[in-house]
Amino acid sequence: MSAKANKFSMVTPCDSRYLELIRDFVAKIAKITGFDEEHVNKIQLSVDEACTNVVKHAYKGIDPKDIRVDVTFDQEKITVTVTDRGKGFNPDKSKLKDMDTYFNKFRRGGLGIHLIKILMDEVSYSIDPCRKNSVKMIKYLCKMESPEKKKEQQILMEESYARHK
Ligand SMILES: Nc1ncnc2c1ncn2[C@@H]1O[C@H](COP(=O)(O)OP(=O)(O)OP(=O)(O)O)[C@@H](O)[C@H]1O
Ligand SMILES: [Mg+2]
């Protein structure tokens, strides 16, 4: 781990054994930023889905395999960027738009990108295959979430926890 001002970075081998380390790293910085437990969980889960995607999808037949996590924070927000050097993908192809579709299709994948979009405030992708594929996720300290959004977040979080049991 390295740190400069409010910037922190971690690079791990691309293996699910290291996901807990990344979760702890991000959760601790989110706490320092000032997020309460509920929001720390949202940030942590989003980063976990992004890193799980790297482990599951990024590197078939490509070496070296690693996951890079960069975190910055200031008085208003935390920004987490997860980067791989794998084959790349088109995030716009993620078809899941709502949870009814997900449950009606017997929970057949496609949850991760949707979850990140709903739990975080701003999400952007930058894809450069075999060089730098990144998902950048921002959460603001003071941003109101509507009751409808909170409900959808709750359903997504419960589903994500259930899958990782
Ligand atoms: N880092 C990545 N590298 C390569 N492909 C990716 C990456 N992240 C996502 N993808 C592609 O985007 C698709 C959608 O990702 P998403 O996380 O929404 O669903 P999933 O991983 O297939 O299923 P689930 O997250 O529900 O287990 C993946 O199936 C994969 O094809
Ligand atoms: Mg996924």
Per-residue pLDDT tens digits of the chain, which is 165 residues long: 565 679 999 999 999 999 999 999 999 999 999 999 999 999 999 999 999 999 999 999 888 899 999 999 999 999 999 999 999 999 988 766 677 777 777 667 788 999 999 999 999 999 999 999 999 999 999 988 999 999 999 999 998 888 776
Q: What's the confidence (pLDDT) of residue 134?
A: 98
Please give the pLDDT value at position 110. Answer: 81
Q: Hey, which of 54, 57, 85, 106 would you mutate to test ligand 1's pocket, going by the most ligand atoms within 8 Å of its Cβ?
A: 57
pLDDT tens column, 47-59 = 999 999 999 999 9
Query: From ligand 1's centre to the CA of 49, what distance in Å?
Result: 9
- Residue range 12-41, pLDDT digits in tens: 999 999 999 999 999 999 999 999 999 999
What is the pTM assigned to this prediction? Answer: 0.93
What is the token pair recorded at 65?
């395999």
Mutate which of 56, 134, 155, 163 for ligand 1? The one with the most ligand atoms within 8 Å of its CB, which is 56
Note the pLDDT of residue 104.
73
Record the tokens describing residue 92, joined without a space.
């716009």
What domains does the chain contain, in order, with CATH numbers? Answer: 2-159 (3.30.565.10)
Provide the residue type at 137 as one letter. Answer: M
Q: Which two tokens stand for residue 134?
A: 């990144």
Q: Is 155 left (phi over 0), alpha (psi -120 to 50) or beta?
A: alpha
Q: How far is the CA of 148 from the centre of ligand 1 (A)?
A: 25
Give DSSP secondary structure letters for the chain: -EEETTEEEEEEESSGGGHHHHHHHHHHHHHHHT--HHHHHHHHHHHHHHHHHIIIII-TT-SS-EEEEEEEE-SSEEEEEEEE-SS---GGG-----HHHHHHTTT-S-HHHHHHHHHSSEEEEEEETTTEEEEEEEEESS----HHHHHHHHHHHHHHHHHT-
Question: How many Cβ atoms sit within 10 Å of the Cβ of residue 148?
Answer: 8
What per-residue confidence (pLDDT) applies to 164? Answer: 72
Give the Cα separation of 114 and 99 in Å (integer): 9
Q: Which atom of ligand 1 is nearest to the CA of 86?
A: 3
